[in-house]
A and B are shown apart, each in its own frame.
Chain A
């Protein structure tokens, strides 16, 4: 297959804005149509500290649709919690507007915003029992007693905590406390539910069970969920759409599939899943794709989103499970192929992870399924060919050198 037969490049996307403009071609969730539940317009937040001003959030634009499960994903200090707290009303943006169903919320105190927050620490009232904890919001709105009882009962049933009404939070397990926190927020039927790493304190098994549980609850109540997490698996599993944040900025917005399969920046590629980064100079540009200049017999083709000129330096990424690894002669039919030597083999049960150092010196990770067919396992020092389809080469947006893979802690003081 020659370069001229390469598939057309994906639609041109403005790489600076972080909006999902043309990225919907992989069948991901579309951007919300009509009135957004929550809209952030040019929102910035800086905190003053002893070392001067710290920019926690920098000019974020977001539109979260009604009934959407939307995640803010990023390392600690990336500004995701600050963003959530601004939506809840606990922080006021230094700049920009926060719209809730089209209404500007800036300056409105948290108790007058029709959103509810599920706290990372749960923040259950220790002196009140489960029933009174859940009823707290309804009582503030002077809901009649009968209605309170009925509504609390319904919500406790929804989170499967019937019969625990008289317990104090202390007498419940971590998972049950988590459910009470959820019920206490849901009972108010808010226009959006904000969740700040709600599963962070649970052990792995419980966390996975709660992920499914949360998704079920969200489907049942149909409320917009805005979910903050640093766990990429969690975000990919549950979200309709998500943003990846870093250093107070949005790196990428899209469906889990888009963000995973088509990471737009080095940061996103590195933060979500295991990613292989390759770089090289453009040899030729043909039909919306660039052929990179690599070693003899090797070729890497990457679909372009903008233009490129020969000699230009490009970064691209390939997911480890998209790569085929073969011994022997070069695979002639492969659109992308690169030579390497196996340096490490890690058996992972259902799959095996190979680390391969390429002829250009890049370290690539390859996952292969352990299907029991021969030729899958390669021992260290074996020379192999790595090959993949051109559509799985994903061009990364150019960006400054400044620490793109190392999350920076000093950016946010509120995580």
Chain B
């Protein structure tokens, strides 16, 4: 990823004789070192399923099954939206993920800020609840939320998917924001107040820019968790189909290559977002 490093701008260098904030020092390992080889093996192992998924999106498969390489084609990319149910499921997944991400950020950020900033009665309990939420098996959470909806007589569908996923994803935003908040210099807020900013202005102009990397990271996590969530969604979906639910249902008959293509798009979108957030983070801290 060395190409991502911005060239050091000459005007950004402090005047000679004054201490320059040192860029990170990194020990360089010699090429061909065992550590190098091992690292690449692990990376390949992690990437292999993704490569297979992408490749089989170009497979010129004849039957229902898409497990054997039968030649290269762009046919299925051309017919990407030819299966209306699949297209609808993808749209559901994407919109749900966006809504869930937004709500998780709105609800999780204040929790993370409070946990990172204040000492209060019930803080330990809040911690336990948060981590229990992460640690608890998804299947148990999904089933529990389902029985809650049934008890309350709420019909399952799009809205219940959103509610269940938000409940699950808030925690990830709260945890990343809390970590960011812990290293936040409180005197910055005091300085803003001292210079005439009210509480909201202080948050908007000082606190938020400082914790934004945590918020973005938490939001990306929430998005990634939401868009391919199967377990919780399966319990609470009712008749609504999301992309993972459709794929699961289709496996009995054979998964069409369009699924691979959409998976590729989702993957590419995820990579793009991650790279963007790294780039923005670099520019902010530069």
Contacts and interface: CB of A to CB of B under 8 A. Distances in A.
A111 interface: yes
Given A171-B12, A188-B195, A119 B187 contact: yes
B190 A121 contact: no
User: Which of A88, A117, A141 has the most chain B CB atoms inside 10 A of its CB?
Assistant: A117
A123 B196 contact: no
A168 B198 CA distance: 24
Contact of B191 (A109, A125, A171, A176): A125
Interface in A69-101: 88-90
B85 interface: no
A171 B192 contact: no
Nearest to B17: A173
Secondary structure dominating the interface of B:
helix
A83 to B, nearest CB: 16
A123 B19 contact: no
A25 B13 CA distance: 54
Contact of B14 (A88, A90, A109, A172): A172
A137 B210 contact: no
A350 B210 CA distance: 51
Interface string B11-44: 1101000110100000000000000000000000
Interface in B200-219: 201, 205-206, 209-210
A124 B192 CA distance: 9
A171 B286 CA distance: 9
Interface string B179-190: 000000101101
Nearest to A184: B195
B193 A176 contact: no
A371 interface: no
A270 interface: no
B195 A116 contact: yes
Given A170-B21, A173-B18, A173-B19, A136 B192 contact: yes
A127 interface: yes
A42 interface: no
Given A109-B193, A140-B201, A173-B14, A127 B210 contact: yes
Contacts of B210: 126-127
B196 A188 contact: yes
A121 B187 CA distance: 8
B185 A111 contact: no
Contacts of A116: 194-195
A413 interface: no
A110 interface: yes
A167 B12 CA distance: 7
B196 A171 contact: no
Interface string A43-81: 000000000000000000000000000000000000000
User: Which of A125, A176, A184, A185 has the most chain B CB atoms inside 10 A of its CB?
Assistant: A125
B80 interface: no
A152 to B, nearest CB: 13
Interface in B213-258: none
A373 B210 CA distance: 64
B196 A140 contact: yes
B197 interface: yes
Nearest to A119: B187
A127 B209 contact: yes
B284 interface: yes
Given A111-B198, A140-B197, A141-B196, A123 B191 contact: yes
A249 B192 CA distance: 30
A171 B194 contact: no
Contacts of B206: 125
Contact of A137 (B12, B21, B196, B209): B196
18 contacts: A89-B194, A90-B190, A110-B194, A111-B198, A117-B191, A119-B187, A121-B185, A121-B187, A123-B190, A124-B191, A125-B188, A127-B209, A136-B195, A141-B196, A171-B14, A173-B14, A176-B18, A188-B196
- 5 tightest Cβ-Cβ pairs between the two chains A and B: A140-B196, A137-B195, A173-B18, A123-B191, A123-B187
